[in-house]
Amino acid sequence: MFEINATGAYYRDLNSQVREAVEKGEKEITLKGVNGQYYIGDGLRGNAQITIEGVPGNDLAAFMDGPTIRVKSNAQDNLCNTMNGGKVIIEGNAGDVLGYGMRGGKLHVRGDVGYRVGIHMKGLKKQAPTIVVGGTAGDFFGEYMAGGVLILLGLDEKETRPIVGDYLGTGMHGGAIYVRGEVDKNLCGAEVGVLETDEDDAKVLKEALADYCKDFGLKLEDIMKKPFKKLVPVSSRPYGNLYAY
């Protein structure tokens, strides 16, 4: 294991240390004493396993393509911005605008997330991003979604806040959002249809959640006990009538 002491380091120096270690072929890297450094793992490739102790700064794993990052605490905003591949695991909560324009790879958050999570996610058949959130999410969850999978679990039974905010999936025109429990239709964007899950959905969910459970030591059957709702776009051209030609 390769250790980097990040205490007080400026992000540019820290990230060049990380890049150097990855280029040298280090497979397991631990960053100690991280607090607020931006851009950790930005544009990073390869398959290194990076563990972060402390709260990393914004734009963690932006444009990342390959590595796995595990954050042992909370994380801030803009995680996985336009991320292409790899995995980010957050043991605590995370902030706003996570996975913006995400194109592949996984983001697993154990706790709650903020506003505008999973917006403008992309996806092709072969390559599609997945975000799984264990707690609750704020407004605009899955806005403009064009592909990939968003799963919201609401695992904390004592949580009194609603599992998701308003304007859920607004502008959605591709991909799928799964919410564990009931979805208030009033909170959904006009473009969203709420469906019951079927066999195929169960397969998708099991595959995604088995990996999620492994990351956090949870039991898949506990999670699957509660039924999910599936949100999909009702029209591929939600704005077809907006304009006069």
Partner 1 sequence: MFKSLAPPEYIADIDREKCIRCKRCIQNCGWSVYSWGGDKVLINTSKCVKCLRCYHYCPEEAITIVDNPTRFKSNAYWSFNNIRNLKRQAETGGMPLTGMGSDQKYPILFDSLLIDACQVTNPSIDPLREPMELRTYLGKKPSALSIEKGKDGKARLNGKMPPQIALKLPLVFGPMSYGSISLNAQKVLARTAKECGILMNTGEGGLHEDLLPYRSNIVVQVASGRFGVNPDYLNAGVAVEIKIGQGAKPGIGGHLPGEKIPLDVARTRMIPVGTDAISPAPQHDIYSIEDLRQLIYAIKEATNYKPVSVKIAAVHNVAAIASGVVRAGADIVYIDGFRGGTGAAPSIIRDHLGIPIEHALAAVDDRLRQEGIRNEASIIAAGGIRSSADAAKAIALGADAVAIATAALITMGCTTCGKCYTGNCSWGITTQRPELTARLDPEVYAERLINLVHAWEHELKEILGALGINAIESLRGNRERLRGVGLDAQTLDILGVKPAGR
For residue 11, CA distances in Å to 54, 76, 183 come to 14, 15, 41
**Which residues are paired to 108 by β-bridges?**
89, 132
* CB proximity list for 186: less than 8 A, separation 6 or greater: none
Residue range at the interface with partner 1 (CB under 8 A); choices 2-10, 59-67, 156-164, 213-221:
59-67
Of the candidate residues 21, 22, 52, 58, the single one contacting partner 1 (CB under 8 A): 58
Of the candidate residues 15, 30, 68, 74, the single one contacting partner 1 (CB under 8 A): 15
Q: Which residue, chain included where needed, has tokens 């997330």?
A: 113
Q: Should residue 236 be labelled a site residue for partner 1 when binding is judged by CB under 8 A?
A: yes
Please give the distance of CA 149 from its chain centroid, rounded to a whole number: 9
Closest to partner 1 by CB, 91 or 96: 96
Closest to partner 1 by CB, 15 or 130: 15
Alpha-carbon span 165 to 114, nearest angstrom: 9
Alpha-carbon span 82 to 193, nearest angstrom: 26
Q: Should residue 170 be labelled a site residue for partner 1 when binding is judged by CB under 8 A?
A: no
Alpha-carbon span 87 to 71, nearest angstrom: 11
CB 39 → partner 1: shortest distance, Å? 4
Window 119-148: residues binding partner 1 (CB under 8 A):
119-120, 122-124, 127, 143-144, 146-147
Per-residue mark of binding to partner 1, 61-80 (x: CB under 8 A): -xxxx-----------xx--
Look at strands 174-180 and 228-233 and give their pairing.
antiparallel
Q: Which residues bind partner 1 (CB under 8 A)?
A: 11-12, 15, 38-39, 42-43, 45, 58-59, 62-65, 77-78, 81-82, 84, 97, 100-101, 103, 116, 119-120, 122-124, 127, 143-144, 146-147, 171, 173-174, 236-245
